[in-house]
Amino acid sequence: MLYCHRMTIATHTAVGTVIGLSVGNPLLGFVIGFISHYLLDLIPHGDGKISDQLRVFKKKKMPITYGTIDAITSIFLLLIILNISPEAHTKVFSAAVAGSILPDLLTGLYDLTKVRFLRVFYRLHFFFHDYFIKRWHDVNLSYSLIIQVIFIVCVLAWL
Ligand SMILES: [Zn+2]
Contacts of 14 (CB under 8 A, 6+ apart): 77, 151, 152, 155, 156
**Percent of the chain surpassing pLDDT 70:** 93
CA of 81 to the centre of ligand 1 (A): 21
Please state, in angstroms and as integers, the Cα–Cα distance from residue 128 to each residue in 39, 114, 158, following that order: 7, 20, 28
CA of 2 to the centre of ligand 1 (A): 8
Measured between alpha carbons, how far is 101 from 15 in angstroms, rounded to an integer? 10
How many C-beta atoms lie closer than 10 Å to residue 116's C-beta? 8
CA of 38 to the centre of ligand 1 (A): 6
CA of 151 to the centre of ligand 1 (A): 17
For the chain, which residues make up each domain, given as ranges?
9-158
**Surface-to-core class of residue 47, CB atoms within 10 Å of its CB (0-12 exposed, 13-18 middle, 19+ buried):** buried
Measured between alpha carbons, how far is 6 from 125 in angstroms, rounded to an integer? 9
CA of 9 to the centre of ligand 1 (A): 8
Contacts of 87 (CB under 8 A, 6+ apart): 21, 93, 159
pLDDT digits (tens, 9 = 90+) for 93-152: 999 999 999 999 999 899 899 999 999 999 999 899 888 888 888 888 899 999 999 999
CA of 131 to the centre of ligand 1 (A): 13
